[in-house]
Amino acid sequence: MRDAWGLNERLFAAWYPCVMGLSERAGGAAIRHELLTGAAGRTLEIGAGNGYNLPHYSAAVTELVVSEPSPYMVEHLRKRLEATPPPVGSWDLVQTGAEALPFDDTSFDTVVAAYVHCTIPDPAAALREIHRVLRDGGRYLFLEHVRDRSLFGSLQDLVEVPHAYVAAGCHPNRRTEDLLDASPLTVERLEHGTLPMGFPTVRPTIRGVAVRTAS
Ligand X SMILES: C[S@@+](CC[C@H](N)C(=O)[O-])C[C@H]1O[C@@H](n2cnc3c(N)ncnc32)[C@H](O)[C@@H]1O
User: What residue ranges bind ligand X (CB under 6 A)?
Assistant: 20, 46-49, 52-53, 68-70, 73, 97-99, 114-116, 119-121, 170
Smallest gap from Cβ 182 to ligand X, in A, equals: 18
- Among residues 79, 90, 26, 27, the alpha carbon closest in space to that of 57 is found at 90
Smallest gap from Cβ 98 to ligand X, in A, equals: 4
Smallest gap from Cβ 38 to ligand X, in A, equals: 16
**Would you say 22 or 136 has its CB closer to ligand X?**
22
**Would you say 54 or 138 has its CB closer to ligand X?**
54
Smallest gap from Cβ 212 to ligand X, in A, equals: 19
**Would you say 162 or 215 has its CB closer to ligand X?**
162
Smallest gap from Cβ 208 to ligand X, in A, equals: 15
**Would you say 20 or 111 has its CB closer to ligand X?**
20
How would DSSP label each residue in the chain?
Answer: ---TT-HHHHHHHHHHHHHHHHHIIIIIHHHHHHHHTT--EEEEESS-TT-TTGGG--TTEEEEEEE---HHHHHHHHHHHHHS--SSS-EEEE---SSS--S-TT-EEEEEEES-TTT-SSHHHHHHHHHHHEEEEEEEEEEEE---SSTHHHHHHHTHHHHHHHTTT--TT--HHHHHHHSSSEEEEEEEEE-TT--GGG-EEEEEEEE----
Contact 110, 39 (CB under 8 A): yes
**Would you say 121 or 137 has its CB closer to ligand X?**
121
Smallest gap from Cβ 41 to ligand X, in A, equals: 20
**Would you say 59 or 100 has its CB closer to ligand X?**
100
The closest residue (CB) to ligand X is: 49
**Cα–Cα distance measured from residue 119 to residue 197, given in angstroms and rounded to the nearest whole number:** 20
